[in-house]
Amino acid sequence: MMASSYNAKDEDGHHSGSVSHGGAGTAKSKKPDNTAFKQQRLPAWQPILTAGTVLPAFFVIGLIFIPIGIGLYVTSNNIKEFEIDYTGVNVDSPCYTCANNFSWNSTTSCSCTVNFTLEQPFENNVYMYYGLSNFYQNHRRYVKSRDDRQLNGDATALKDPSNDCEPYRKIGVETIAPCGAIANSLFNDSLELYYVEPSGALNAVPLAKKGIAWWTDRNVKFRNPAGVDLPTAFKGTAKPVNWRKPVYELDPSDPDNNGFINEDFIVWMRTAALPTFRKLYRIIHKNQSSTSTLPSGRYVLNITYNYPVLSFDGRKRMILSTISWMGGKNPFLGIAYITVGSICFFLGVVLLIIHHKYDTRSNSADIPN
């Protein structure tokens, strides 16, 4: 009735100046679309976790985790591991002299021998690790002190590696190859293992050098620079300061295991996560003829002691270990699984009780109303 009279709309600023500019939604004269999305009515699944749904889940988790945990624990326990510290801190330890008379300048290497006894035979492949403690391979300055382009065989990076390699980048005018702190501090003790036959004769245990590095590292990530042979390829570069031999002479016994693709080198270049770590050194392959790879008995470990660790209060170990499907010996996973499984199971029980109590309570509360 009054529609014509009160004309507010006419005055709606047509050309009201610059003051009005569109916000999130400017005037819409059309009816909004009636789509499920725009009306917030998309079909939806609305799960609600209740004691009823979660209870079985708890029991199931418990029932799955506990056996896995037990399996893991047993597996871990079945792994045989032998560890010996040969640092030579104590006066009575065999490597004491080597450790304390260490000098970077000495040309002759110091050797020491450690005797040990394996109580139990080691079956299947046995893996020989060296372990270092208080060695911060994960220090930032250390971790970044490498040039992966150089290690990948890049010719320009070989001559002009990244500045990250400082202060192990150049000696005078010659570039260091491989550059950087990691490469420079390559672990260079050599370990030899001898089985002491009941007769007293020393029987050298064959130690395989291949297969200790990741396949992709050895074949893709690390590559030697192009050249007729390695010495020419590395021509014009210097060996790292602390090295005794150039990179292309790392393994005199196997020409394919030299240069950047030397597996010991590759293993070392994969920086460890924690200051106490182990790295795979050699593999003792299963002996086809005899039952155990390393029969129980006395052994001699011959160490060429080149690697000083006492200056930073470090320790060196040699570890012999068998391996299972879960890797090396580590009871943690098994215990964790058993614990979590038990907690789930226990919670399941508790929840069941609460659930029952609550149900009865709510039922009795509902009835009077």
Partner 1 sequence: MIRVRNFNNDKFSIYWPALAAANLNWFCDLGVDERRVDNRTIYIGHQSSLVNEDFIPPKFCDNRIVSSKYTVWNFLPKNLFEQFRRIANFYFLIIFLVQVIVDTPTSPVTSGLPLFFVITVTAIKQGYEDWLRHKADREVNKYQVTVLENGQETPKESENIKVGDIVQVKENETFPCDLILLQSTRDDDTCFVTTASLDGESNHKTHYTVPDIERDLKSLNATIECEQPQPDLYKSLGPENLLLKGATLKNTQKICGVAVYTGMETKMALNYQGKSQKRSAVEKSINAFLLVYLCILLSKALVCTTLKYVWQSKPGQDEPWYNKKTQKEKDTNLYLKMFTDFLSFMVLFNFIIPVSMYVTVEMQKFLGSFFITWDKDFFDPEIQEGALVNTSDLNEELGQVEYVFTDKTGTLTQNNMEFIECCIDGFQYKHRGASSELDGFCVTDGPVNKLQQKAGREELFLRALCLCHTVQVKESTEQDQREDNLDQVDGLRIDENVLQPPQKERGFIASSPDEIALVKGAMRYGFTFLGLESKTMKILNRNKDVEMYDLLHVLNFDPVRRRMSVIVRSGSGEMLLFCKGADSSIFPRVRQEEVERIRLHVERNATEGYRTLCVAYKRLSEEEYAQADAGLREARLALQDREEKLLAVYNQVETGMSLIGATAVEDRLQEEAAETMEALQRAGMKVWVLTGDKMETAKSTCYACGLFQRKTELLELTVRTLEDGERKREERLHELLGEYHKRAVQDAPPVKAGGTRVCFASNQDYGFIIDGASLSMVLNSSSESNMRSYKDLFLQICQNCTAVLCCRMAPLQKAQIVKMVKSSKGSPITLSIGDGANDVSMILEAHVGIKGKEGRQAVRNSDYAIPKLKHLKKLLLAHGHLYYHRIAHLVQYFFYKNLCFILPQFLYQFFCGYSQQPLYDAAYLTMYNICFTSMPILAYSLLEQRISIEDLIEDAALYSENAKNAMLRWGLFLYWTGLGAFHGLVFFFGVRFLFSNPALQDNGQVFGNWSYGTIVFTVLVFTVTLKLALDTRHWTWINHFVIWGSLAFYVFFSFFWGGIIWPFMKQQRLYFVFANMLSSVSAWLVIILLILLSLLPEILLVVLRNPRDPHIVPLLVPDKHD
Residue 196, both tokens:
């002491």
Angle at 78 (CA atoms; ends 76, 80), nearest 5 degrees: 95
4 or 108: CB nearest partner 1 = 4
Instruction: Say whether residue 255 binds partner 1 (CB under 8 A).
Output: no
Within residues 281-310, the interface with partner 1 by CB under 8 A covers: 283, 308
Cis peptide before 167 (omega within 30 of 0): yes
- Residue span binding partner 1 (CB under 8 A) among the ranges 46-54, 90-98, 188-196, 294-302: 46-54
Within residues 10-39, the interface with partner 1 by CB under 8 A covers: 11-25, 27-34, 36, 38-39
204 or 354: CB nearest partner 1 = 354
Closest CA to 298 of 74, 83, 119, 166: 119
* Buried b / exposed e along 110-147 (16+ C-beta atoms within 10 A): bebebebebeeebbebbbbbbbbbebbbeeeebbebbb
Within residues 107-166, the interface with partner 1 by CB under 8 A covers: 125, 127, 129, 135-149, 152, 162, 164, 166
Instruction: Say whether residue 369 binds partner 1 (CB under 8 A).
Output: no
92 or 215: CB nearest partner 1 = 215
Burial class of residue 289 (count of CB atoms within 10 Å of its CB; 0-12, 13-18, 19+): exposed
Residues 74/334, Cβ–Cβ less than 8 Å: yes
Within residues 231-250, the interface with partner 1 by CB under 8 A covers: 242
Q: Which of 208, 244, 296, 358 binds partner 1 (CB under 8 A)?
A: 358
Give the x/- contact pattern for partner 1 in 200-219, rule: CB under 8 A. Answer: -----------xxxx-xx--
Instruction: Say whether residue 98 binds partner 1 (CB under 8 A).
Output: no
The C-alpha atoms of residue 6 and residue 110 are separated, in whole angstroms, by 108
Q: Which of 74, 155, 274, 353 binds partner 1 (CB under 8 A)?
A: 274
Residue 15, both tokens:
């050309």
The minimum distance between CB 25 and partner 1, in angstroms, equals 4
Determine phi and psi for 317, rounding to 5 degrees.
Answer: -130, 160
Instruction: Say whether residue 172 binds partner 1 (CB under 8 A).
Output: no
